[in-house]
Structure 1
């Protein structure tokens, strides 16, 4: 019999979070208490904001339903490990749909995981290799979670940074936001040493260390972190317009462009569509991305994309023949 009320409530909550209806008698047997105690415990959970629904009958049942707010979840060991491994796999690669919210969730989960479960998560992560597309660099999940914790806690962050030209430096920052572009993670932060705002590619960050020193959030010049990053990258990257015609329906091309953040293909008739846009991505990456759609296409411009496609195509042919 469970006499510890908080422990019994957690056990009851864990049972109710499985997708089924629990008869009152079965819950009483599982918990080693009377049905009256089960009813009182259900009322306590409702007072705490858990939407528990009851059904009438000879042996009325209980189940947890969707409510207006997200109450705390109770996870067993296997569930916690599975969620942590999934979040780490996604966070290590700047994948479409995996944004700062998922990294914050990973940071919260790993903060409360017991050491034995953290070891299991690390072992599973080391034993698996995710299949990713594009040239997004791999990032240690520990780096992202440390940075996300500093962002959420408004805590000054110190780290080592390697610039694009290979030069190394140590930075002390007030981290503002983590932003995913779909292929890479960036940190938008105020650099205390440079006394100015900066963006940092997270795959070039090492040894992130939240210092514990709190700070008042500064006002970002461009309004949002996404806008600031877009302008920052635009100053350093050449953008160009491109137009490509596919010998396929727009729906098929859209399906092949999974994760594409640009404009949708424009239908030109049965079996034909046009894709146009502006990008700062390396022309080699765009050429490979278009080829992965799985349909014949013709480059209408720019010339450097035509040249790149021709060169890559010849290289692939030679590789297949040789």
Structure 2
């Protein structure tokens, strides 16, 4: 076995142009066999275009795509050893669940007895054992999503591609299907590549996440690394939401906010940045806490503009002197603050991070 055949998918210097418009700009990434990778980004960033090029429904302008070490550029979708679950599922509504799942096998002229056996196995896997004879028009949205998944998996692809697979489901059903997707991925050991704009979904499902912006990958990393150690301001703000506090690197490892020293920061957070570097401090809402002015001098003062109750937590929104806002997530059991009150927002400095401004 060659080294490259260990990889599920290799994307090498892919660029995609539509006329003069650049959809994808020199993107490279390697997805290992058996990984669950999510391509995450806002609408229009190029993530679905990238997935369509892997699947064969679009071709790159330049660069190469390899599946299992072999180039697939120019091959039609059915010759790529990949299968696609579309955002709208693309099922046949007047055919039965079993007929929909069997469709790809029939197109491949698989023996009828083998089709029946594999469809039954798939119905068991996707928890629709008793639904094989129902028409797709007679089942729920969540069940339709499972049928689409089963139809793709039954052909036993090396790589499963999912384009916003849970986008049409309500929140409760999305959570349920996330758990089921993880379970199926773990049981089958296939390579999964999904596209989503939902940050929480990406963090929940993925072994690694590629964050895209304007046709480029800004960071490709494990979920916790993206969340705790973003490399750009865009990643910090897009993945999970963050408070970004403008500051300047001061002497002796300190940070200055509006010329006032905040506190000495750990050396690994400052890094090699010289004194005077313009940075933003990345502070996640859950590590921020509020206190009365004077109780904690190692934070920043802000005027409370909103107190929003959201179940187990309350969101405290504060306005800094420069007009920017901070959001803290605190226990709903803590006494509520009053709009217009000035408080100190503070945090554990070792849990924050810096990105260049």
- Shared fold (TM-score, shorter chain, > 0.5): no
**Quick check: which one's strand share is greater?**
2
TM-score relative to the length of structure 1: 0.28
TM-score relative to the length of structure 2: 0.26
